C-alpha cells in the first residue's frame, strides 16, 4: 500500500511525461524544447548566432531627402511581406507619415533581382479617396492601408499583390472597407486595382467604394487568379483578423476572437500548423477546411510581434519571432529549428542589432519586428537560404538571408582570404549587418571591406569559430579612412560577453583605454592576438580582459562603438524631435580586412 503522502510526488514526476505526450497534438501543436531564455539587457538576447546570416537594409527612412528613401519622406514603415516570382524578389510594406494607423497611408512595393540589392519603392496601393458623397463612419476620421498578406502566385502563373483598406484608428471589423488586389506583370508594371472582398461587418460594396469589384475585370486570367485565391483556405486565413468573417468565409472558429497575423506550414506528418501572435497555434488535418481550437503554446515566449513558421529548403523547419514578453521592445529576432515541425530547439540570432530610433512616432516599437517570409506555394529563389523580412523600429525595412542548414557552432580552424568570392557576392559563414549607408562587401581586390557614412549606425561583420578556452587569431587590417567613430574588434563568448574589445582610432590601438599598439592610415598592418587563460596576448605582451569568460567563439569587426541603448527602460512614447542630422550622410570611414586565420 502506497502512503498518501507519496501521491503528490508521483503526480509531479508524471507531469513532464504528460506535457511531452501532448506536444504535437491540438493541445500544443508545436513546442520549443531548447531551454534557452532571452537576456533582456542585450540586443542579441545573449544567444548564439545563426552562422552566415546576412542582414540587409532595404529602405532607410529619410524625412528630409525622400529621394534617398521611398520618395515621400514618411517615417512610419512597417507590415512588410515578400515573395519571389519569375526571377525577382518583391517586397511590400505600408507607410504613414509619422504614426501607426494614422492617415494618410499607402502601400509600397520594392524589387530586387538577388535579394541583396534593392531598388526604389513604388506605390502599389495609393491613399484611398472615397467616392463623392461617401463620408467617414462615426468614430473614424481617415483612411489607411493595412495588410496581413502581400502576394499570391495563382495556379495560372499570375502574380497578385493584395492589401486592405480601412479607417483610422482601427481598420478592423467595422473600421474595415475591404481587400484589394491588382496584378503585377512580368515587366514590373501593375494592373488596375479591384476589391476582391469587402468587410463582412459593413455595407461596403461596388456602389459606395472607389474601385470596382474584381468580377468586373475584362481579363479572364486575372479573374481566375482572384477566384483561386478566394478558394484557398490557407492563403485567405491570413486575412482573418482584419475581417473575422461574419458570413462564414473563414473555416477557423476563433471563439477567443484573438488570433492575429496568420502564418502556416505543413509539418512532416502532413498536418498544417497555423501560428499567430501571442504564441497561439492550431492544427488542420484537411488543408484548412477545419481547424482545432487555437491554443497558446507556453514554450513559445513572445508578445504582440508576429511569428513566422515555414519548412526550409533543406527539408527542416524554422519558426522566427521576438522571444520576449515585453510589448514595446521587440528584439532580438531569433529562429528555432526542427526536424519534424513539432519540437523545436537551437534558438539563435537572426537579427540582433537595435540602432537608435531616428524619428518619434506612435507605437514605434524598438527592434526588428513583424517578421515574414516567403509563403508556402510561392516560387523559391535559387540558393540554399531562408529569406525573411521585417521592419526595424517600425521605420526602416530589412531582409535577412539565413544560410541553410541553420547552424550555431563551428568546428575546425578558420581560414578566410576571400579570394574565391566575387566582388559584391555573398560571404559564406559570416554574419553581416549592412545598412544603406554602412557597407559590408568583398571588394575588387578580394578583401572584406566595411564602410560607414551614418552618424547613428554602423557596419558589422562577425565570424564564429570553434568554442575554445584558447584561440590564436591573425589577420591583416588596413584603415583606409577614418572619421568620428573608432573601429572596434571584439572577442566574445557564446552569450556575446566581450572578453576583449580593441579600439582603433587616430593611429592608436587601445585595450580598455590603454594604448597597446599603433597603425598608419592607408597601410596594411598584420595583427596577431591570442586569448589564453583568460588573458589577451598582443604583440608579445599580456593584457587584462574586459570581462572574465570561460571560453570564446566569435570575432566581431564593427565601424562604431558598442551600444546597449535603447534598452528596455528607454521610453517608447516620449515626444522628441528627430535625431539631429540623421538624414545626412557623413564622410565615409573605410576599413579592409584580409587573411583571417583562427586556430
pLDDT for 380-417, tens place per residue?
Answer: 999 999 999 999 999 999 999 999 999 999 999 999 99
Pick the closest to residue 478 from 520, 516, 509 (CA basis): 520
Check residue 21 and give its pLDDT: 59
Would you state the pLDDT for residue 10? 42
Confidence of residue 573 (pLDDT cuts 50, 70, 90): confident
User: 285-300: per-residue pLDDT in tens?
Assistant: 999 999 999 999 999 9
pLDDT of 253 higher than 50: yes
pLDDT range class, residue 8, cuts 50, 70, 90: very low
Q: What local confidence, expressed as pLDDT, does residue 18 receive?
A: 44
d(Cα 125, Cα 106) in Å, to the nearest integer? 6
Q: What is the pLDDT of residue 251?
A: 93
Average pLDDT, stretch 314-324?
A: 97
Place of cell 540570432: 349
What percent of the chain clears pLDDT 70, i.e. is strictly above it?
96
- pLDDT of res. 15: 43
What CA–CA distance (Å, rounded) separates 458 from 454?
7
Whether 575 has a pLDDT exceeding 90, the answer reads: no
**345 neighbors 407 (Cβ within 8 angstroms):** no
Q: What is the reported pLDDT for 9?
A: 42
Residue 591 is predicted with a pLDDT of 98
User: What pLDDT is recorded for position 14?
Assistant: 42
pLDDT given at position 433: 99
Span 451-501, pLDDT tens digits: 999 999 999 999 999 999 999 999 999 999 999 999 999 999 999 999 999
Query: Residue 86 has which C-alpha cell?
Result: 519569375
Indicate whether 540 pLDDT > 70. Answer: yes
Nearest CA-CA partner of 520 in 536, 533, 509: 509
pLDDT value, residue 1: 42
Helix (H, G, I), strand (E, B) or coil at 339: coil
Across the range 99-103, mean pLDDT stands at 95
Grid coordinates representing 215 are 468580377
> With 50 as the cut, is the pLDDT of residue 11 above it?
no
Q: 319: part of which helix (H) or strand (E)?
A: strand 317-321
Listed in order, strand segments (DSSP E) in 136-254 are 142-146, 151-153, 159-168, 176-184, 194-198
Per-residue model confidence (pLDDT) at position 574:
85
How much is the pTM? Answer: 0.95
- The overall average pLDDT reported for the chain is 95
**Residues 424, 448: Cα–Cα separation, whole Å:** 10
Q: Cis peptide before 566, with omega less than 30 degrees from 0?
A: yes
Distance separating alpha carbons of residues 416 and 463, to the nearest angstrom:
10
Element (H, E) at 15: helix 7-22
pLDDT given at position 230: 98
Nearest to 251 by CA among 265, 267, 272, 225: 272
| 223 secondary structure, DSSP code | H
pLDDT at 258: 85
Q: Which whole number is the average pLDDT over 47-74?
A: 98
Q: 6 pLDDT exceeds 80? A: no
In whole angstroms, what separates CA 49 from the centre of its chain? 14
* Separation between Cα atoms, residue 263 and residue 302, nearest integer Å: 15
CA proximity to 407, closest of 376, 442, 431 = 431
Residue 404 is predicted with a pLDDT of: 98
Binned at pLDDT 50, 70 and 90, residue 20 comes out as low
163-187 residue pLDDT tens = 999 999 899 999 999 999 999 999 9
506 burial level (CB within 10 Å; 0-12, 13-18, 19+) = exposed
**Average pLDDT of span 139-144:** 93
Q: Is the pLDDT of residue 105 over 60?
A: yes
Residue 328, C-alpha cell as written in the block: 514595446
pLDDT band at 96 (very low <50, low <70, confident <90, very high): very high
Amino acid at each position: 500500500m502506497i502512503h498518501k503522502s507519496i501521491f503528490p510526488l508521483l503526480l509531479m514526476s508524471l507531469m513532464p511525461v504528460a506535457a511531452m505526450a501532448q506536444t504535437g497534438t491540438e493541445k500544443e501543436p508545436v513546442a520549443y524544447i531548447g531551454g534557452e531564455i532571452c537576456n533582456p539587457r542585450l540586443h542579441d538576447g545573449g544567444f548564439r548566432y545563426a552562422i552566415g546570416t546576412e542582414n540587409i537594409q532595404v529602405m532607410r527612412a529619410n524625412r528630409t531627402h525622400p529621394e534617398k528613401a521611398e520618395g515621400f519622406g514618411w517615417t512610419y514603415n512597417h507590415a512588410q511581406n515578400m515573395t519571389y516570382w519569375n526571377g525577382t524578389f518583391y517586397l511590400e510594406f505600408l507607410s504613414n507619415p509619422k504614426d501607426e494607423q494614422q492617415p494618410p497611408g499607402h502601400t509600397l512595393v520594392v524589387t530586387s533581382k538577388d535579394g541583396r540589392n534593392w531598388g526604389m519603392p513604388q506605390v502599389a496601393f495609393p491613399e484611398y479617396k472615397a467616392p463623392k458623397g461617401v463620408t467617414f463612419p462615426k468614430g473614424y476620421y481617415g483612411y489607411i492601408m493595412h495588410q496581413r498578406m502581400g502576394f499570391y502566385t495563382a495556379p495560372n502563373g499570375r502574380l497578385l499583390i493584395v492589401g486592405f483598406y480601412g479607417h483610422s484608428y482601427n481598420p478592423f471589423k467595422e473600421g474595415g472597407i475591404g481587400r484589394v488586389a491588382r496584378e503585377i506583370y512580368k515587366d514590373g508594371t501593375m494592373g488596375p486595382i479591384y476589391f476582391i472582398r469587402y468587410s463582412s461587418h459593413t455595407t461596403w460594396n461596388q456602389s459606395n467604394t472607389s474601385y470596382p469589384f474584381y468580377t468586373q475585370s475584362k481579363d479572364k486570367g486575372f479573374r481566375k487568379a482572384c477566384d483561386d485565391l478566394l478558394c484557398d483556405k490557407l492563403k485567405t486565413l491570413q486575412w482573418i483578423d482584419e475581417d473575422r468573417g461574419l458570413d462564414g468565409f473563414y473555416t477557423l472558429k476563433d471563439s477567443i476572437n484573438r488570433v492575429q497575423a496568420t502564418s502556416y506550414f505543413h509539418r512532416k506528418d502532413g498536418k498544417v500548423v497555423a501560428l499567430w501572435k501571442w504564441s497561439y497555434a492550431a492544427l488542420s488535418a484537411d488543408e484548412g477546411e477545419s481547424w482545432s481550437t487555437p491554443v497558446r503554446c507556453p514554450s513559445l515566449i513572445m508578445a504582440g510581434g508576429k511569428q513566422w513558421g515555414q519548412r526550409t529548403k533543406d527539408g527542416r523547419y524554422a519558426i522566427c519571432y521576438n522571444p520576449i514578453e515585453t510589448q514595446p521592445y521587440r528584439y532580438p529576432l531569433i529562429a528555432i529549428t526542427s526536424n519534424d515541425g513539432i519540437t523545436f530547439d537551437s534558438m539563435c540570432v537572426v537579427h540582433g542589432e537595435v540602432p537608435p530610433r531616428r524619428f518619434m512616432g506612435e507605437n514605434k516599437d524598438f527592434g526588428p519586428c513583424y517578421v515574414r517570409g516567403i509563403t508556402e506555394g510561392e516560387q523559391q529563389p535559387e540558393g540554399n537560404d531562408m529569406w525573411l523580412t521585417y521592419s526595424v523600429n517600425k521605420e526602416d525595412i530589412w531582409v535577412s538571408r539565413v544560410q541553410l542548414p541553420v547552424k550555431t557552432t563551428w568546428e575546425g580552424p578558420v581560414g578566410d582570404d576571400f579570394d574565391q568570392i566575387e566582388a559584391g557576392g555573398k560571404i559564406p559563414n559570416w554574419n553581416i549587418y549592412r545598412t544603406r549607408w554602412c557597407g559590408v562587401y568583398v571588394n575588387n581586390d578580394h578583401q572584406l571591406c566595411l564602410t560607414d557614412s551614418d552618424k547613428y549606425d554602423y557596419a558589422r561583420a562577425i565570424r564564429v569559430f570553434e568554442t575554445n578556452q584558447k584561440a590564436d587569431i591573425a589577420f591583416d587590417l588596413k584603415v583606409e579612412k577614418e572619421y568620428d567613430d573608432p573601429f572596434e574588434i571584439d572577442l566574445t563568448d557564446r552569450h556575446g560577453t566581450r572578453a576583449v574589445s580593441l579600439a582603433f582610432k587616430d593611429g592608436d590601438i587601445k585595450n580598455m583605454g590603454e594604448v597597446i599598439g599603433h597603425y598608419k592610415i592607408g597601410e596594411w598592418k598584420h595583427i596577431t592576438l591570442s586569448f589564453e587563460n583568460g588573458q589577451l596576448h598582443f604583440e608579445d605582451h599580456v593584457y587584462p580582459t574586459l570581462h572574465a569568460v570561460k571560453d570564446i567563439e566569435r570575432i566581431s569587426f564593427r565601424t562604431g562603438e558598442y551600444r546597449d541603448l535603447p534598452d528596455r527602460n528607454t521610453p517608447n512614447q516620449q515626444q522628441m524631435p528627430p535625431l539631429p542630422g540623421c538624414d545626412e550622410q557623413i564622410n565615409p570611414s573605410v576599413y579592409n580586412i584580409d587573411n583571417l586565420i583562427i586556430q
